[in-house]
Amino acid sequence: MPDRLDHISAAPRHSAVDDVQGIAFGVTMAALGMHILTHMGFVTGQTTGIAILVAHLTGLPFAAVYFAVNLPFLGLAWARLGLRFAVKTLITTAAVSGLVALFPGWLELGRIEPALAAILFGLLFGIAALAAIRHGGSFGGLSVLWIELQDRTGFRAGHSQLISDAVIFALAALILPWDKLVYSALGAAVFALFIAVNHRRDRYVAA
């Protein structure tokens, strides 16, 4: 039986068409998840959660705030992961922002059972993130910053991520009703579980 690492190293590369359709799918799922998230008045972690809080406090459009919040991290992504990754991240972030701005006029949402809404946005975020990662892009976020901090100080990036998300939820607790906070936490947990189970290089070896 061939060594598994040899199999992974010999994995076929994605074509440009593969990357375009994969990232387009991820962008659509992310925007749909954010449409549900903002419709329900929930919050989540990462830069999406920061954007929700800023938009809530300032009255600015969420789509514009989301794009602006992610911009500072592009330079760091370029320095650490290269121009190609940074460009893909810029494109995906801009595309998500555009779709988030358009979705309310295209898809009018009514009542959604809160628990179902939380599960849906967690799954949609997970599917979107996985699609972007597998095609060499991302939706921005704080992860690159925490990896840089880990390299400089040795403090685990995963711990930084947990702390930052806890701070976002703590701030959200000051302005959100407790039930929305609980459902928000459910959605974040579904997202984290989806990524933990499905983001494995040994199950997906295309480069």
- For the segment 150-185, what is each residue's pLDDT rounded down to a tens digit? 777 877 766 777 888 899 999 999 999 999 999 999
Q: What is the spatial distance between Cα 195 and Cα 120, in angstroms, rounded to a whole number? A: 14
The pLDDT tens digits of the residues spanning 185-198 come to 999 999 888 887 77
For residue 15, give the DSSP letter.
P
Let me know: does 35 contact 109? Beta carbons within 8 Å. Answer: yes
pLDDT at 9 over 60: no
* Helix then strand then coil, % of the chain, to nearest 5: 75, 0, 25
Q: What is the mean pLDDT of the chain?
A: 83
Q: What is the spatial distance between Cα 2 and Cα 120, in angstroms, rounded to a whole number? A: 39
pLDDT at 7 over 50: no
Report in angstroms the alpha-carbon separations of 55 from 48, 60, 128, 179, 180: 10, 5, 22, 20, 17
Whole-structure pTM value: 0.82
**SS3 assignment, position 102:** helix
What residues have CB less than 8 Å from 176, skipping those under 6 apart?
41, 43, 184
